[in-house]
């Protein structure tokens, strides 16, 4: 009986046994699966905990790259390279701190050499070398200043400085060329180009803005020296911005003062400002006569009086009349000295009086940016009311006195001036079924760029949780449950059944059953025999009890 039971549970010797079907092989498989699951969980944990790296510096020179990596090694900061070594990456939470610490050390120095080149001058340097170093230093400083603009990635400045000459006809003006490498997707507006031109022109003596050329990395000419040299006037972006802000302020003031009367959203206003950007200096000198009631002011007065006859001219005009006088002889008859002139001699009096004239000198200077004229248009919606019983909305126009009141308020808000020629038009009309502007829908949270890092971290943790859950429910949990079931089957010892006189086994039936099992065992495999033994145990447990009793009796 014991031999038959051993043959029933053990595979036949002629059938090869699979290693994974042995208890040791099953333990190895379970242990390997557990090890793989733990390794995957550990890898996911390390992946979620890995450091996020960001760009510290990019597009640096080899000298700056070596100095930066040496400083990072000295500070004990982990770093790595990307983009083929053109960028240095450091942990994202320390980017700004490391940049400040490197900036304190003067890193990166950049490709342009500034006035620090003059600090290493050697004794005995020729004047030509000094001039070249000065020009290189000036070009480097200008390039560094231009690179501080947000849209400029890098810049190079070339200066053509002629040699000074004592002869006026041999003197030449300096020129400059600027090559810009702009950031991807960025462009410079005319105002920024003009600022670069004036920056370079103001840094070099006798360099005019018309002699500065600005070119980008695509070879496009950003500046137009000919137009600037000819003095062509261009629109100033600052002036256009000033006009737009002035008009917006007027519209805002008008709407803010009318909205409390007619309700929010029931008023629309537009303004047009004519601004004079010409700077005028006027000097006037005016003269006018004195007013009659006022006494005339005497500036100077001169009087002269003469008595006696004055001999007149005589003789024939010509050379004979211009002869020198002859020898003086005493007259035979005459008037004695001290005697009065003859009666009937004429007396002459002359008087000259100069009076002051009114003079007014006026100097007037008008600053640029003055308002020449304002034009404002205002549209006010009909007043709407709701019937509390029916809920019907009715619209009625404003009363004339209300429109007049609104017009006066708008004049005060806009600074209306009749002498200046300002115009104002206030219209009361129903809006096209729109009392209030529609509220803009809130943007989706997943489209907000500010939530992108948070969404990335959330997706990372969700993916790790999904993988861990799959490994637990599909691999680890079935293996653990199977191991616990086998442990329970091994540790649990079934109680020995008490012999029942009515259930005494029939020896002949047992022999027949064993013979039948022997025949089936030879015809089928080990797994089929095992399954058959299980089925037999469920159908007739007495046979199994007898076999166990036989084993115990044999031991």
Condensed to tens digits (0 to 9), the pLDDT of residues 331-367 reads 544 445 545 555 555 677 788 877 766 677 777 777 7
Query: Using 50, 70 and 90 to split pLDDT, how confident is the model at 423?
Result: very high
pLDDT, averaged across the chain: 75
Give the pair of three-digit tokens for residue 99: 């940049």
Quick: pLDDT tens for 278-317: 777 777 776 666 556 555 667 777 888 777 555 555 555 6
When pLDDT is averaged across residues 399-411 and rounded to a whole number, the result is: 92
Quick: pLDDT tens for 126-171: 877 888 888 888 888 898 889 888 888 888 899 998 888 777 777 8
Asked whether 215 and 178 are in contact (CB, 8 A), the reply is yes
- Highest mean predicted confidence (pLDDT) among 107-121, 316-330, 474-488, 527-541: 527-541
The pLDDT score that the predictor gives to residue 197 is: 92
Sequence-distant (6+) residues with CB within 8 A of 183 are: 150, 151, 152, 153
* Architecture of the structural domain at 53-105: 2-Layer Sandwich (3.30)
Cα 253 from chain centroid (whole Å): 30
- How far, in Å, CA of 521 to CA of 280, rounded? 122
The pLDDT score that the predictor gives to residue 257 is: 92
Which 3-state string (H, E, C) describes 194-216? HHHHHHHHHHCCCCCHHHEEEEE
CA distances from 259 to 78, 272, 374, 412, 436 (A): 60, 21, 21, 15, 12
The pLDDT score that the predictor gives to residue 215 is: 93
User: 127-147 and 190-203 helices cross at what angle (nearest 10)?
Assistant: 160
The pLDDT score that the predictor gives to residue 247 is: 93
Asked whether 178 and 168 are in contact (CB, 8 A), the reply is no
Which has more pLDDT, 323 or 425?
425
* Architecture of the structural domain at 115-225: 2-Layer Sandwich (3.30)
Which has more pLDDT, 210 or 535?
210
Best CATH choice for the domain 251-279+365-428 from the list 3.30.160, 3.30.300, 3.40.120, 3.30.200: 3.30.300
- How far, in Å, CA of 264 to CA of 281, rounded? 46
Token pair 């008009």: residue: 247
Alpha-helix residue ranges (DSSP H) falling in 61-189:
62-75, 95-104, 127-147
Residue 177 has pLDDT above 90, yes or no: yes
The pLDDT score that the predictor gives to residue 342 is: 52
The pLDDT score that the predictor gives to residue 447 is: 64
Quick: pLDDT tens for 355-403: 766 677 777 777 777 888 999 999 999 988 877 777 777 888 999 999 9
User: 400-414 and 237-262 helices cross at what angle (nearest 10)?
Assistant: 150
Query: Using 50, 70 and 90 to split pLDDT, how confident is the model at 441?
Result: low
Quick: pLDDT tens for 225-276: 554 544 445 566 778 888 999 999 999 999 999 999 888 888 999 999 998 8
Residue 472 has pLDDT above 80, yes or no: no
Task: For residue 550, count other CB atoms closer than 10 A to its CB.
Answer: 15
The pLDDT score that the predictor gives to residue 22 is: 67
Q: If 0-12 CB within 10 Å is exposed, 13-18 middle and 19+ buried, where does residue 55 land?
A: middle
Query: Using 50, 70 and 90 to split pLDDT, how confident is the model at 120?
Result: low
CA distances from 532 to 1, 13, 15, 516, 540 (A): 17, 19, 18, 11, 12
- How far, in Å, CA of 369 to CA of 304, rounded? 62
Quick: pLDDT tens for 498-519: 555 554 555 666 666 666 666 5
The pLDDT score that the predictor gives to residue 116 is: 59
């Amino acid at each position: 009986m014991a031999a038959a039971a051993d043959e029933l549970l053990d595979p036949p010797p002629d059938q090869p046994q699979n290693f994974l079907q042995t208890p040791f092989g099953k333990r190895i498989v379970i242990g390997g699966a557990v090890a793989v699951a733990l390794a995957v969980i550990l890898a996911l944990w390390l992946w979620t905990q890995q450091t996020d790296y960001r760009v510290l510096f990019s597009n640096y020179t080899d000298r700056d790259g070596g100095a930066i990596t040496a400083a990072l090694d000295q500070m004990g900061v982990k770093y790595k390279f990307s983009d083929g070594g053109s960028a240095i990456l450091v942990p994202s939470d320390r980017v700004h701190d490391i940049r400040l610490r490197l900036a304190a050390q003067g890193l990166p120095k950049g490709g342009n050499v500034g006035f620090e080149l003059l600090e290493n001058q050697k004794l005995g340097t020729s004047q030509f070398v000094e001039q070249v170093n000065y020009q290189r230093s000036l070009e480097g400083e200008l390039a560094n200043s231009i690179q501080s603009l947000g849209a400029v990635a890098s810049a190079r400045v070339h200066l053509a400085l002629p040699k000074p000459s004592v002869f006026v006809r041999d003197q030449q003006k300096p020129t400059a060329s600027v090559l810009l490498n702009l950031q991807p997707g960025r462009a410079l507006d005319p105002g920024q180009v003009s600022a670069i031109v004036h920056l370079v022109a103001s840094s070099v003596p006798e360099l005019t803005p018309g002699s500065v050329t600005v070119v980008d990395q695509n070879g496009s000419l950003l500046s137009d020296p000919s137009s600037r040299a000819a003095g062509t006037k261009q629109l100033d972006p600052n002036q256009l911005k000033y006009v737009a802000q002035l008009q917006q302020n007027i519209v805002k003031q008008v709407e803010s003062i009318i909205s409390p009367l007619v309700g929010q959203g029931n008023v629309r206003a537009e303004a047009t400002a004519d601004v004079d950007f010409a700077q005028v200096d006027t000097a006037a000198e005016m003269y006018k006569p004195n007013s009659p009631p006022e006494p005339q002011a005497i500036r100077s007065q001169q009087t002269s009086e003469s008595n006696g006859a004055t001999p007149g001219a005589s003789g024939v005009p010509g050379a004979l009349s211009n002869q020198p006088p002859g020898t003086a002889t005493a007259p035979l008859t005459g008037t004695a000295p001290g005697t009065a002139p003859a009666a009937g001699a004429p007396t002459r009096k002359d008087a000259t009086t100069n009076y002051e004239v009114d003079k007014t000198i006026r100097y007037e200077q008008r600053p640029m940016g003055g308002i020449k004229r304002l034009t404002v248009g205002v549209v006010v919606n009909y007043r709407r009311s709701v019937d509390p019983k029916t809920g019907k909305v009715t619209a009625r126009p404003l009363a004339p006195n209300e429109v007049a009141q609104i017009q006066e308020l708008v004049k005060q808000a806009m600074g209306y001036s009749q002498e200046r020629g300002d115009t104002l038009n206030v219209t009361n009309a129903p809006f096209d079924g729109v009392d209030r502007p529609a509220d803009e829908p809130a943007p989706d949270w997943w489209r907000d760029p500010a939530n992108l890092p948070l969404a990335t971290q959330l997706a990372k943790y969700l993916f790790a949780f999904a993988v861990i859950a799959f490994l637990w429910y599909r691999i680890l949990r079935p293996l653990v449950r199977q191991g616990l079931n086998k442990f329970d089957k091994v540790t649990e010892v079934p109680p020995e059944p008490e012999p029942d006189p009515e259930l005494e086994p029939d020896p002949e039936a047992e022999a027949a059953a064993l013979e039948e099992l022997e025949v089936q065992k030879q015809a089928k495999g080990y797994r089929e025999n095992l399954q058959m033994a299980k089925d037999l145990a469920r159908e007739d447990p007495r046979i199994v009890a007898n076999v166990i009793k036989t084993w115990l009796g044999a031991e």
